Amino acid sequence: MMMNRDFSDDLSKLPDKPGVYLMQDEKDTIIYVGKAVSLRNRVRQYFRASHNEGVRKDRLVENIHHFDYIVTDSELEALVLECNLIKEHRPKYNTLLRDDKTYPFIKVTLYEKYPRIIMTRELKNDKSKYFGPFTSAYSVKDTITFLRKVYKIRTCNSLNVDRPCLDYHINQCLGVCATDDYYEEYMENVNKAIEFLKGNHKKTIDMLTDKMNKASEDLDFEKAAEYRDLMESIRNCIEKQKITSADNEDVDVISMYKEDDEAVVYILFIRNGKLLGRDNFYFAMENVESDESLINTFIKQFYDGALFIPKEIYVDEELDNLVLLEEYLNEINNNIDIEDDDISDYNSSIRNRRIQIITPKIGKKKHLLDMARTNAKMTLENNRERMKREMGRTIGALKEISDLLGIDKIDRMEAYDISNISGYDSVGSMVVFEGGKPKKNDYRKFRIKTIDGPNDYGSMKEVLTRRFERAMTEKEEGNTKKGFGKLPDLLMMDGGLGQVNIALEVLDDLGLDIPVAGMVKDDHHNTRGLIYNGKEISIDTTSEGFKLITRLQDEAHRFAITYHKKLRGQGMVHSILDDIEGIGPKRRKALMKYFSDLESIREAALEELEKVDGLDKKSAKSVYDFFHK
């Protein structure tokens, strides 16, 4: 089993705590998500020479470039978070799980006159109260059975019956199907059951403990074992976990941990009540006035230009300028304008809702904040060197490029690429890196409309013209901070001097002054330097700046190819043969069957074309003339 690098230093810093670990490849793609009772013990197993979990896991380890983790308070939290992250990221080496129906919930049907307590595997907006999800259907069923017996909750599906069932006659139900005399007592019992499910279960556990001890003293060990197993089922079922909430709220949880002149801001992303992701940001504190100043600055920069802002944001400490900051976020949220067809579910109710910044003091919200802070602390303590390396890969790389080109500051870079088949059905891609990292919300794709045939320069000119004309329109409408309205600090062109000149021509026509650099290739099509201001500038191919440019270039190419494949998969790309007079679907199919590929048709002699079934001399000559005119 081959490994890319020595992980011993990272492994030595793993905490002996439950949590979720995320294996990532050299492109920062999450390729595996797992949970652990002890992160230290579990993650170390992957990198032991004796470790063997089959060929699939060997391939996983070979592709691990680095790993990250999130600490939780229990194995249950880790399991639920693992499932959420797998659904969100769909890692290559995970066996993908199904939707939330794999989890049982306890449901109290408050919309009914006499509520029931039942098990369900889906959440509905039906005024019921939900508890869960839980990891054991067996424990859920045990708990529901127990609550029904103790609080005399009905089990029948309908109140339309002629007489009470057996439960009433054995004193396990109040018989509400036959009389309303016990309505208040019944609802009081329902509320007690809800309190129990909320976690107020000490009295109940104490009662069961007493019964177990009493049965044991009476030598009724079978009964004592039943009470013991029932208590274990209840404990498993009502174990508190913060990872999923039935509230279906969208929340960002932001916490900071600082040591000396370094700090980490850690953020948890909760969507529809589920914790689906996290991120962390490293800061040097030399130029930061205070902790509050850092959080203020972070919130403003993080949500500036965002396509989505959650309804609530949790922070460690109350902020002095809270009202002003909330107004700022609400202004951004109210002005969010989604025009990308791929993002269609953003609606006016979300845009117009009120955003709040909250400092929780107690309860589950405070628990989430504590979780974020714990992870911030461990991230700073255990990953200082890795975060500094990451800063080198991103911010440091940008500084190298700005110093090389003599540009004051570079934050936003854009790159473009054209993809086609033999010059037909061209598409263009625009990718954006900010702070040295991909900003995928700002990626855009273009179908070439005005250029026919193989003309990469013409296609690139169309893409750049459309992009920057849109920027001028956005500017007139007051948007210069997001999407097309935000201009790059540097345009990076893949095609050398030719494409640089195309970009400069477009920018000059629109009166825009944006630096443009191009990548110069050697005889083996490898980048050897940059073209800037008409001169070739050498660049160290081992530097972080060069590696960042390569990542930008590769991402533009990948995004264009992916879009083109998508169109082909939808049957939206036509054949070059469709442009030949006299060649319809049947003759096109006959040509491809005879020659196998387009290049063979292009090189075929007229006599060879005439041999194709279904082609007469006139249509064969049309094909020949098309490729030799």
417 and 565 share one domain: yes
- pLDDT for residue 352 is more than 70: no
411 and 559 share one domain: yes
Q: Can you tell me the mean pLDDT for 168-182? A: 80
Strand partners, 68: 22
Q: Is residue 43 part of a domain?
A: yes
169 and 278 share one domain: no
- Report the alpha-carbon distance of residue 3 to residue 21 in Å, rounded: 18
- pLDDT for residue 21 is more than 90: yes
Q: Read off the pLDDT of residues 215-242 as tens digits, 9 standing for 90 and up.
A: 899 888 888 888 888 777 666 655 545 5
Q: Is residue 3 part of a domain?
A: no
- pLDDT for residue 7 is more than 70: yes
CATH code (residue 604): 1.10.150.20
Tokens linked to 256: 């900071």
What rounded mean pLDDT belongs to the chain? Answer: 80
User: Angle, to 10 degrees, between the axis of helix 221-238 and the axis of helix 202-217?
Assistant: 160
SS3 525: coil
Burial label for 399, CB within 10 Å (0-12, 13-18, 19+), is middle
Q: Is residue 391 part of a domain?
A: no
Q: Is residue 535 part of a domain?
A: yes
CA angle 18, 370, 205 (to 5 degrees): 65
Q: Read off the pLDDT of residues 109-129 as tens digits, 9 standing for 90 and up.
A: 988 888 999 988 777 767 788
Q: What is the domain count for the chain?
A: 5
Nearest Cα neighbor of 4 from 47, 56, 55, 51 is 47
Nearest Cα neighbor of 306 from 329, 273, 277 is 329
308 and 191 share one domain: no
In the β-sheet with 66-71, what is the strand arrangement from edge to edge? 30-36, 19-24, 66-71
Lowest mean pLDDT among 52-61, 308-317, 402-411, 463-472: 52-61
Give 494's pLDDT tier (boundaries 50, 70, 90).
Answer: confident
CATH code (residue 268): 3.30.420
- Report the alpha-carbon distance of residue 563 to residue 418 in Å, rounded: 11
Nearest Cα neighbor of 43 from 51, 127, 121, 494 is 51
Q: How many residues appear in the chain?
A: 629
Q: Is residue 118 part of a domain?
A: yes
Strand partners, 275: 270
pLDDT in the model for residue 104: 76
Determine the structural domain holding residue 86 and report its residue range. Answer: 8-97
Q: Is residue 440 part of a domain?
A: yes
112 and 221 share one domain: yes
415 and 564 share one domain: yes
362 and 234 share one domain: no
DSSP 396: I
180 and 195 share one domain: yes
Nearest Cα neighbor of 43 from 64, 74, 72, 73 is 64
Of 74, 97, 120, which closes a domain?
97
Q: Read off the pLDDT of residues 401-419 as tens digits, 9 standing for 90 and up.
A: 998 999 888 889 999 988 8
Cβ neighbour number for residue 106 with a 10 Å cutoff: 24
119 and 48 share one domain: no
* 86 compared with 214, residue with greater pLDDT: 214
- Report the alpha-carbon distance of residue 426 to residue 460 in Å, rounded: 10
- Report the alpha-carbon distance of residue 71 to residue 77 in Å, rounded: 9
Of 519, 549, 569, which closes a domain?
569
Q: Is residue 388 part of a domain?
A: no
426 and 550 share one domain: yes
Q: Is residue 396 part of a domain?
A: no
CATH code (residue 44): 3.40.1440.10
110 and 227 share one domain: yes
342 and 435 share one domain: no
Of 49, 81, 97, which closes a domain?
97
DSSP 613: T
pLDDT in the model for residue 345: 39
